[in-house]
Amino acid sequence: MRNLLVICGLGVAISACGGGAGGGGDDTAAIDASAAAPDAPAGEDLDMQAADFGCIRDGTKVDKFFIKNPLGHLDDAVAVATSATGGRYPVGTILQLVPQEAMVKRATGWNPTTNDWEFFALSVSGATTTIQARGVEDVSNSFGGNCFACHDQAAPQWDLVCETTHGCDPLQISDTIIENLQNGDSRCN
Ligand code: HEC
């Protein structure tokens, strides 16, 4: 029991702290966890705020999605994304297929269940980004689809990245719509 309390105190293992995924109010717990990442070995973390998200196309495009890493690990992230055998993305990696969604790699150990990915549902208006939801197992996109439920279907070597061949349920939107959303990002203007 003592261990459980310690873990909960760190805000790391949210599902072990009562309520659990989908129990309500866990968004706050997920955000608090970011402030409580003292156990990250290298001390590196990326706690994104709305204004930190910018034009999706400023990232490096691999296949259909864009990659950024404000902590300076972009080369490592691109290497994982282009690897034929997968790998673990470095801390600080931001992945986006469309401007309205993002996966951000938090500190090592931040949330083992999601491989330390934080999921974001965003809205974009003009130059302004708004965070509609952020968290781990309880964030859904605008179609009501749970990010983690789909992305967790990817085979383990792909670090929850779906693409079209890693084992996830397919998206309901066509490649043309994806491209239109990328090209239509109003923050790029
Ligand atoms: C219905 C299942 C499903 C849901 C729900 C879903 N995704 Fe995805 N996501 C996918 C698939 C499949 C792809 C790959 C699409 C492609 O390459 O054509 C993808 C692609 C992505 C990518 C690009 C990297 C990759 O995995 O290929 C990111 C980032 C992403 N999604 C984030 C999110 C976030 C954040 C949410 C929730 C707000 C979310 N997704 C909800 C299935 C889903």
Average pLDDT (42-66) is 96
Q: Is residue 7 part of a domain?
A: no
Tell me the C-alpha distance between 176 and 155, whole Å.
26
For residue range 151-160, what is the model confidence (pLDDT) as tens digits? 999 999 999 9
For residue range 57-101, what is the model confidence (pLDDT) as tens digits? 999 999 999 999 999 999 999 999 999 999 999 999 999 999 999
Task: Name which of 77, 82, 162 is nearest 119 in CA terms.
Answer: 162
Please check whether residue 42 is in contact with residue 91, taking contact to mean a CB–CB distance below 8 angstroms. Answer: yes
With a pLDDT cut of 70, the percent of the chain lying above it is 78
Tell me the C-alpha distance between 157 and 166, whole Å.
9
Which atom number of ligand 1 is nearest to the Cα of residue 154? 26
Confidence of residue 42 (pLDDT cuts 50, 70, 90): low
Residue bearing tokens 């691999």: 62
How many Cβ atoms from other residues are within 10 Å of residue 54's Cβ? Answer: 16
Q: Is residue 18 part of a domain?
A: no
pLDDT given for residue 123 in this prediction: 97
Q: Is residue 22 part of a domain?
A: no
pLDDT given for residue 75 in this prediction: 98
Tell me the C-alpha distance between 179 and 34, whole Å.
32
pLDDT given for residue 63 in this prediction: 97
pLDDT given for residue 155 in this prediction: 98
How many Cβ atoms from other residues are within 10 Å of residue 81's Cβ? Answer: 22
pLDDT given for residue 14 in this prediction: 36
Q: Is residue 2 part of a domain?
A: no
User: Which residues does a 6 A CB cutoff place in the pocket of ligand 1?
Assistant: 64-65, 95-97, 101-103, 119-121, 139, 141, 145-147, 150-151, 161-164, 168-171
Does residue 4 register a pLDDT over 90?
A: no
| Count of domains observed in the chain | 1
Mean of pLDDT over the chain: 84
Minimum CA distance residue for ligand 1 atom 43: 150
Half-sphere exposure at residue 108, Cβ-oriented, CA atoms within 13 angstroms: 9
Confidence of residue 43 (pLDDT cuts 50, 70, 90): confident
Q: Is residue 35 part of a domain?
A: no
Tell me the C-alpha distance between 137 and 139, whole Å.
6
Q: Which residue range is the domain that position 171 belongs to?
A: 44-188
Tell me the C-alpha distance between 97 and 102, whole Å.
8
Please check whether residue 107 is in contact with residue 40, taking contact to mean a CB–CB distance below 8 angstroms. Answer: yes
Half-sphere exposure at residue 48, Cβ-oriented, CA atoms within 13 angstroms: 32
Confidence of residue 143 (pLDDT cuts 50, 70, 90): confident
Which atom number of ligand 1 is nearest to the Cα of residue 102? 35
Tell me the C-alpha distance between 52 and 146, whole Å.
23
pTM for this one? 0.83
Q: Is residue 53 part of a domain?
A: yes
Please check whether residue 34 is in contact with residue 28, taking contact to mean a CB–CB distance below 8 angstroms. Answer: no
